[in-house]
Structure formats: C-alpha cells, structure tokens
Structure 1
Amino acid sequence: MLSLTIALLALIVGYFLYGKFVEHVFQPDDRPTPAVSMADGVDYIVMPTWKVFMIQFLNIAGTGPIFGAIMGAWYGPAAYLWIIFGCIFAGAVHDYFSGMLSVRHGGANLPELVGIYLGDGTRKVMLFFSVILLMMVGVVFVLSPALILGDFCLSKTAWIIIIFVYYVLATMLPIDKIIGKIYPVFAFALLFMAVALLACLFFKMPQLPEVWTDLSNYTSSHESEKLLGTIAYFKRNPLFPCLFLTIACGAISGFHGTQSPLMARCMKSEKSGRQVFYGSMITEGIVAITWASVSMYFFYYGGWRSVVDPNIVNTFLSQFDKPDGQTLVQFFSAPKVVEYVCVGWLDIFGGILAVFGVVAAPITSGDTAFRSARLIIAAALGLSQKSIRKRLYIAIPMFLVAILMLIWQIDDPNGFNTIWNWFGWSNQSLAVFTLWTITVYLVRKGKPYWVSLLPAVFMTTVCFTFLLVSEQAFGSWIPRHYGYAFGLASIIVSIVWFAVWFRKNRTASRH
C-alpha cells in the first residue's frame, strides 16, 4: 500500500509543480481562441472550462487506463513506475502541447500540426496513421463495453448495434447536442468508480506488491496458483518494451493528440489549458494506478477468489492441467476483471454505477474517435463540415469500414487481445510523431526542448524495439538479443538525427 500511496501523491504533486513549469514553457496568453474567432455552431463552440475538462478526460480515458492497467499489472510494481514517470514527464507534456498547439493554429488537427513542423511528407503518413488508429479505437471501444453489458442484459450483438447507432449520432450532430450534455454524467460515473475503488483499497488494505518486491520468486501453496502463466506471458511479452505499450493511456498515448483538437475548439481561454490537457492526463493516471493496484491483488495475491463465483473458480481450476487449458490472464480477461471487482467490492448499487463508469469510458472515447476521424478526413479533402450532407459524405464510408473491422474480430475469441496489442503499438507510434513535432516547435521558439526530446527518444526506442522483440510482431523470427541491440541503435540514430537537424536549424536561424 505504501507504493500506491506514494504513486498517488507523486501524480498530484506532478500536476502542481511540473505542470506549472510546462505551462510556463508554453506561455499561454489572452489572444482569442478558435472557439471565439472561428465559431461555427458545430465543432467550434465556447463551453465552460469544467465541461471542457470533463469531455477531454472522457475522450482520452476510454478503456486504456483501465484495461491497459489490468494487463500491465502482470508486470508487477514496475507498472507503478511507468504510470508515474510516464504520466508526469511524457503523457501530460504530450497532451498539453498537442492541445495548445492546436489552439494556436486555429484548432488544427494532429496531421496538420505534424505537417507544419515535420513537413508535408510526414503529414501524409500521419493522416493515414491517425485515421487507421481512430478507426481501431472506435472498433475496440464498441466491443469492450458490449462484452461487459452483455452479461447484464440483452446480448453482445444487441449492445454492439445500440452503441454503433449512438456513435453515428454523436459523430454527426453538433458537439454540444449530445457530447456536451451527457459527458458530465458519464464523467461522474467514471470518477465515482475510481474514488470508490481507491476507498476500498485503503479500507480493505489488501496485500499489494511494493516497488521493491521481487515477484520472480512468487509462490503459493496451491499448485494452480504457482502456474498462473506469467512465465509464458513474459517470454512472449518481455517487460521492455511491452509494458510501455500495454499501459498506454495511463502513461502516454498518441490517441490523446487526436482528441485534444476537439477541446481546443471549445476553450474560451488559453490559460485553462493546464487544467484541461495536463490535468486530464494526471486524472487518467490516477485511474490507471487504481486499476493496476486492484489487478495486482486480483492476480498475484488470490483476490480473484474473494470476488468470483465459486463455480467459475472451479471451472478454471478443473481445466488448468489440460494441454489446452487457459492461464489466469486468459481466463479472466480485462472486461471480466472489471465486472467481478466492481460488483464484488461495491455490492449491487455501487457495482452497477462503477460498471456504468467503466462502460461509459470506452463509449465516450469511441464516439469522439469517429468524430476526430471525420474532421481529419474533411480537413485533408478541404470539405466544410457545416452542412450535414457533407458530413455524411465522410461518415457513411467511414462507418462501413468500421463495421467490416468489427465483423473481422467479433467472433474471434482472441480478437479483442489481437486488435488491442496492435492498437497499443499504433497508439504509441502516433505519440512518437507528436513528441517530435513538439520538440521541433520548442526548438524553433527557443524554448527548453528537452521536455519533449527525452520522451520522444524513449518512445521511439520503445516502438522500434517492440517490432523486433515481441512475438506478436517479428520477435519469433529474430533472436531477442539482436532485437535489443537494434533497439539500442535506434536511440543513437534518433539522437544523432536530432543533433544534425538542430545544428542545421540553428545555423539557418542565424542567417
């Protein structure tokens, strides 16, 4: 519990200290924001700061800080360190600058910002990359809430249809008609879930691994608990770099950069940027820390026995010794962990409200993912979105493609995990582009560019190494030590590339 307490305090202190420093680096002022100067009644609309914060938080939260933290808990207390340092020094920096650069450039979307600072060729790559990622987000965030709701009423398919219909409406209508009205309710449910589970953790005081705990010697009196599958899991997904992709939204996420322009078009003042962008990321980090702690107790210390129906436990144990038997991480998927913990710890009413918050998170990220994709495509085509007819030109083919992606994974028992893994890599790769964009901006403005350079180099290495090390990519073809060697080389290459560019840029600025 000491590591959890320190982690929470670190995130809060990080907001007030490092967040203030990051704001000072950018230097927001009183110039008119796009919501004021470009108001169109559809996407550019002034909204109260508290509502903009709520929407931003829900936009970026999704299931990332929940499901990602649950799966990341298999790496033990290292998850704490990544969430703390990643959130304060990488994720919140990424979100703040991507949002504020959008404000300064008339609400420009992420590919446009990348084009301004990294060139038109990179903009085109980002355009394709962003749309594909947003489509994946929308599809993932259709399936995950449907999996949870399907256990309460109706069927998984029925919920998929209902959620998809909602996505169409939220994507097409002005942002204040649906999103601006229902997000505060969803935000309350999600925040209630996080606060309630934190209260349970401090009230129950369950056994949790500390940062200094050595889980490699983890043992249990029950044979089935000695063989939870962690050895096989780590062989396929080594801590570096896989932890840094598994826990994405709770630490740093490129998806956030696609969402920040939505709220950049609704802010009345630049000076609310730290609350809206940096603050939302810190809040998401708190949600991730909460679920990482709950999950470490659930998996490592038998917490699943206290909240799961005994018949389900017996089903798991009975098939454990079979050749095709599942490990704990496979049997209790992330959506199931959410359902069992919320209902088991918070009883029926609290559990339903908590589950509602967890369900609301992906739904409210899925709708804005599709909305962002529509706006990015419209900007690339130069197509005004004030007319609903022109919105349909983009929305119809976009949703048809999304339906095909959904059909591809809906009946695949491992479909969610597969698309999540590649979503994680695509997500962090998008963050790499954004961090380098921010770095170029800071260099050109003569500001302390190291605030984004360090996380840019680190995340570049993480994404490149994953392709060569993880068995989900090319790790089964390449000896792992070669993969790590090339990963180390990517650090050197990126630093040398930046140094050459920096020297050239500085020389050009003097002339």
Structure 2
Amino acid sequence: MNSLVLVGISLFLFAGGYHFYGRYLEKIWDVSKERKTPAFEKEDGVDYIPAKNWIILFGHHFSSIAGAGPILGPVITCILWGWLPAALWIIFGSIFFGGVHDFSSLILSLRYGGNSVGEVAETIIGKRSRILFSLFLILSLILVVAVFAAVTANTLVAEPQIIIPTFGLIFVAFIFGFLVYRLKFNYIFATAGALILIFFLFILGNRFPISFGEGDAVKLWILILLLYSFVASVVPVNLLLQPRDYLSAFILFIGLIFGYLGLFTSRPAVNAPSLISFSAGKNGTLWPMMFVMIACGAISGFHSLVSSGTTSKQIASEKDAKKIAYGGMLTEGVLAILALLCVGAGLRWNNSIPSISYPLLMEKGNWIGTFATGYSQVTSKLMKPEVGKMIAIVMINAFVLTTLDTATRITRYISSELFGDAFKIKIFKNRYFSTFFVIVMAAYLAFGNWQKIWPVFGASNQLVAAIALFVAGFFLLNKGRGAFTALLPSLFMFLTSTAALFYQSLTFFKEKNYLLFIVSILLIILAIFFIFEGVKRFRKK
C-alpha cells in the first residue's frame, strides 16, 4: 500500500474529529469566553500569568506533552504487531480517548482555580482518593524527571553537534520572553529574530561539536540538566519555560512539515506487514500491551498533568482550550503517524540493505537511530540523509528536554498542593524548597538504577489517564450531560492498564524481580480502590 493512502485517511479523520467531536466536547463542558480564567483571577507574576496569545501557549503545551512517546511507541509497536493496529489506535485513540482526556483535564482545572487533577479529585471523589492519587503522581513524575535527564544526557554525549543548539535555545528563549513580556515587543518580530538565531545555532553546532568523552560526561550532563530544570521551575513561567517550549515547537513543526513533504515527494510503499501476530512473545499480546506502549501517540496520563499543571495557569480564555488541548493531542497523533511511516515505509522490512533494514536496526535496541534513519530516507529527495538524521535527532531531543523542565515544575505544583496544603507542611509552599526536593529525589534515581523501576511506567502512566478521565466523567455525571465521553474511555483504560500490570506482574514474579512485582500489585490495588471510592461517593450523592 502506498503510504499516502494512510496519510490521507488519517489527516481527514483528524480534521473531522477536531471539527465535529471537538465542538461537541465544548458544548457538554459549557465552554464560554466570558468565564474568567485562573490566569487572571490568581495572577502572581510567577506561575499564574496569561499567555500573550493562544499560539504561544499552544507551543508550550504541545512541546511539553509530546515527549518521546509519539515517536518511540509507533517505532516499537510496528515491528511487534504490524502497522495497521498501531495506526488504528493512534487515529481513533487520539480523537476519542487522548483528545477527550487532555481537553477535559484542562477545563476541569480551569473550573477549580487552576489546580492539578490530583487536587480536583478531592472535591469530586474524596480526600483519600486525592492523597493516594497525588502521591502516585509525585512518584511517577520524579521518575519522569530522572529518566528524561538521563536519556537527554546520553543523547548529548552520543550526538555532540546538538549541544550548542540545545543550550543556545535556552538563552534565546529567555531573551524572547524578556522582549515580549517585559518590553512589550511585537511577538511576531521577536519570533522571527529568535528563529534566525536558532538557525545559526544549528550551523554552529554542526561545525563545533562539543564533546567531553563518555562515562563521567553523562553524569556531568545529568547534573547540568537537573540544575537547568531547577531554574526553569522557579523563574516566572513567561520568561523561560513558556518561550522555550514555544520556540521548540517551531523545531518540531519544521521536522513535521519536512517529514510529510518527504512522504508526498517520495511516496514510499509501506514495507512492514499490516498485522504480524496477536502475540509478540515476551513482549506480550496486542491487547493490552500495544495500547500501553503507544502511549502519547493516542493517550497519556502525563498530558492531564500538563493540562491541569502549567497550561491551565496561563490560558487567557476558555475558548482556546479546544485549540490547545484537543488540537494539541490530534497534532501529536499526526506526529505518531509520521513516525509509523518513517519506519514502516521509509525502511526496508527485509535485510537486503542492512543499513536501512528495520528489523536489523531494531535488533541493536537503538530506536532513536532507527527513527532517524527512516526519517532521513523519507526526506532523501529534499535533503542529504545526514541532514535528515540530524533534524530527526534534534526533534527528539527538543521533545525530551521540554518534557523534562515542564515535569519538574508540575511536580513542584503537586508537591506544594499535597504536602503544603493538605498535610500543612509550610516549607513545601516555598517554591525553591519544593523544587529542591524534586531535583534531589530525581538525581538519586538518575544517578542510580532508574532502569529497575522504569518498566512499570508505561502501564502506570495509562492508569493516570484512566483516573483523570474517571474524575472528569464524574464531574459531567453530576452535571447530567455527556458523561459517557469520559467514563467509557476511562473504563477501557482502567481495564487496559490493570491487565498490562497483571501481565507484567506475572513476568516479574517468574523472573524473581520482586520489587517490580510488588509495585505492579500495588498499582492494581490503587486502580481498584479509586473505582470503589468513586462509586461509593456517587451512590451517596
């Protein structure tokens, strides 16, 4: 099959979903531009600051939610189960699951003063649920900060040419934020100037790669990245985090545009099988494991934390929620389809040319290199393969770094809400201390054996999505309108995440990995407890 057939079908369905289903969601959530947002009601010059316009906030939101998931998930699942089930889940999952999840989390947070979905859970379901959920979120987010710091550090050591553009972008973003928000400079001219500087940073990075060797260099970069995350978490959001993510979004969209232009010019046939098998051996069965692995490409619990964490504190109008949250998720679906076609059509399924053989490249376990090679093949009629590879790697690194700094700030928010507000530990209300707490815990994992607990993150992340949808569904149930839009996806994600955790727990027990076995069982108990608490609360009402 020609890859353009899948491109055409997916883009048509994404556009239809945005126009029709997105409009329906606005209706049942009673979205109104007249309702004042927390960015104005609680404006404090640090966290609650209205974005200059929705485009800048979209850049922050999209860069933060994307992470590595929409690329990593399709690259791995395509070779295990085939491109067809992956494509179907990406398309329909984004429209009816992920988009609803992100949009609902944002609106829910706006209705509760910009608080996180964990805080909102207490009002809707109960205090015990809120405490357990918030603790679970904090532990998950600390793991995300640790892992993304380690992954980014390894990428910087492996690809020294991206160091100058990666860190140069931070300074460009700070200048952009200062010009636009403090000096009231025209944001269009500021954007143009910033993009020109970023272009020259890429040239400098290619000509002057910075290398500190390996081994200790990774630890040094982890330390630098965590220090940067500390700064990004405490300074006013519109001076660094928001503009850096906004400018990063341009890098991501440039990569996205070149990728699809490459598909239109090269028109490659899909080489990978449409369906390989329902079972992928030790990797598990198509359900539930594929639905967990694709994650951000269709639905991800982390998105609810971004929507209710940083985005809800900056959005200027409820009317922008559909464009930012629902539109952001569908855009991520567009990216996931591109990643799927880069490996499924850009690479060979056979081993006739080893350097572009999908199975051989994945045997090395280097999914970044596999995607970059596929991207370079798809865009080969537009640019040299080495340039295509660099763009692909910079795209991934930009995703990971934006998720790292946003995750740090969100963990500070939730730590402050739980320990500062609920447990009355006043020192956690200090943003410097709460951020320091997050960084120290993340550093402990990043410099230690984070790999030991990372395997359960995929299922636990989808459990967060199920709980966020559950909270949104109960809110709508109380209002008497459209609760099925959240409760049905919530039920499916509960079943999927608990089934994945159960499957993994059996595997961990057989391997005598008792730590992960216990963690998996505890997460299953958490899921059951949350459903029980929600149903009990609803019956009381």
Tell me if 1:142 matches 2:182. Answer: no
Tell me if 1:504 matches 2:511. Answer: no
Q: 2:276 aligns with which of 215, 223, 226?
A: 215
- Alpha-carbon RMSD across the aligned residues, in angstroms, is 3.3
Contact 2:105 2:468 in 1 (8 A): yes
1:341 is matched by which residue type in structure 2?
Answer: G
Structure 1 residue 303, shift from structure 2 partner: 8.7
Aligned residues: 457
Deviating 4+ runs (over 6 angstroms) = 383-389, 496-500
Contact 1:307 1:341 in 2 (8 A): no
Give a deviation string over 1:104-126, Cα, whole Å, max 9, x none: 11101121111111211110111
Q: 1:335 aligns with which of 365, 368, 374?
A: 368
TM-score by length of 1: 0.81
Give a deviation string over 1:80-109, Cα, whole Å, max 9, x none: 011111110011101001001101111011
1:398 is matched by which residue type in structure 2?
Answer: V
- Evaluate the alpha carbon distance shift between residue 448 and residue 128 of structure 1 in structure 2; reply closer, same or farther with a 3 A threshold: same
Q: 1:282 aligns with which of 330, 333, 358?
A: 330
Q: C-alpha separation between the residues in 2 aligned to 1:358 and 1:472?
A: 33
Partner of 2:164: none
Tell me if 1:403 matches 2:443. Answer: yes
- Evaluate the alpha carbon distance shift between residue 393 and residue 499 of structure 1 in structure 2; reply closer, same or farther with a 3 A threshold: closer
1:186 is matched by which residue type in structure 2?
Answer: S
2:440 is matched by which residue type in structure 1?
Answer: L
Q: C-alpha separation between the residues in 1 aligned to 2:426 and 2:59?
A: 25
Q: C-alpha separation between the residues in 2 aligned to 1:145 and 1:304?
A: 33
- Evaluate the alpha carbon distance shift between residue 36 and residue 363 of structure 1 in structure 2; reply closer, same or farther with a 3 A threshold: same
Unaligned runs of 5+ in 2: 161-210, 512-524
Q: C-alpha separation between the residues in 1 aligned to 2:426 and 2:325?
A: 26
Q: C-alpha separation between the residues in 1 aligned to 2:249 and 2:506?
A: 34
- Aligned partner of residue 382 in structure 1, secondary structure: helix
Q: 1:68 aligns with which of 44, 56, 73?
A: 73
Unaligned runs of 5+ in 1: 217-229, 318-326, 478-489
Partner of 2:469: 435
Q: C-alpha separation between the residues in 2 aligned to 1:386 and 1:51?
A: 34
Contact 2:122 2:128 in 1 (8 A): yes
1:282 is matched by which residue type in structure 2?
Answer: L
Q: C-alpha separation between the residues in 2 aligned to 1:175 and 1:210?
A: 43
Give a deviation string over 1:210-262, Cα, whole Å, max 9, x none: 89x3435xxxxxxxxxxxxx97x434321110001101111111111111121
Range with bigger deviation, 341-350 or 280-289 = 341-350
Q: 2:456 aligns with which of 422, 434, 451?
A: 422
- Evaluate the alpha carbon distance shift between residue 433 and residue 204 of structure 1 in structure 2; reply closer, same or farther with a 3 A threshold: same
- Evaluate the alpha carbon distance shift between residue 305 and residue 172 of structure 1 in structure 2; reply closer, same or farther with a 3 A threshold: farther
Contact 1:111 1:127 in 2 (8 A): yes
Partner of 1:392: 432
Structure 1 residue 500, shift from structure 2 partner: 6.6
Tell me if 1:451 matches 2:472. Answer: no
Q: C-alpha separation between the residues in 2 aligned to 1:389 and 1:375?
A: 9
Partner of 2:109: 102
- Aligned partner of residue 151 in structure 2, secondary structure: helix
Q: How much identity, in percent, do the aligned residues show?
A: 29
Q: C-alpha separation between the residues in 2 aligned to 1:304 and 1:191?
A: 33
TM-score by length of 2: 0.77
2:123 is matched by which residue type in structure 1?
Answer: I
Q: C-alpha separation between the residues in 2 aligned to 1:390 and 1:91?
A: 33
Q: 1:33 aligns with which of 32, 37, 49?
A: 37
Structure 1 residue 391, shift from structure 2 partner: 1.8
Partner of 2:15: 12
Structure 1 residue 161, shift from structure 2 partner: 3.2
Partner of 1:51: 56
Contact 1:148 1:336 in 2 (8 A): no
Tell me if 1:187 matches 2:249. Answer: yes
Range with bigger deviation, 4-13 or 166-175 = 4-13
Q: 2:301 aligns with which of 249, 254, 258?
A: 254
- Aligned partner of residue 86 in structure 1, secondary structure: helix
Q: C-alpha separation between the residues in 2 aligned to 1:21 and 1:502?
A: 27
1:116-195 equivalences in 2 (<5 Å): 116-153=123-160, 154=211, 155=214, 157=218, 158-195=220-257
Q: C-alpha separation between the residues in 2 aligned to 1:201 and 1:83?
A: 18
Give a deviation string over 1:127-159, Cα, whole Å, max 9, x none: 111111111221222233333332222246143
Structure 1 residue 55, shift from structure 2 partner: 0.6
- Aligned partner of residue 468 in structure 2, secondary structure: helix
- Evaluate the alpha carbon distance shift between residue 351 and residue 331 of structure 1 in structure 2; reply closer, same or farther with a 3 A threshold: closer
2:276 is matched by which residue type in structure 1?
Answer: L
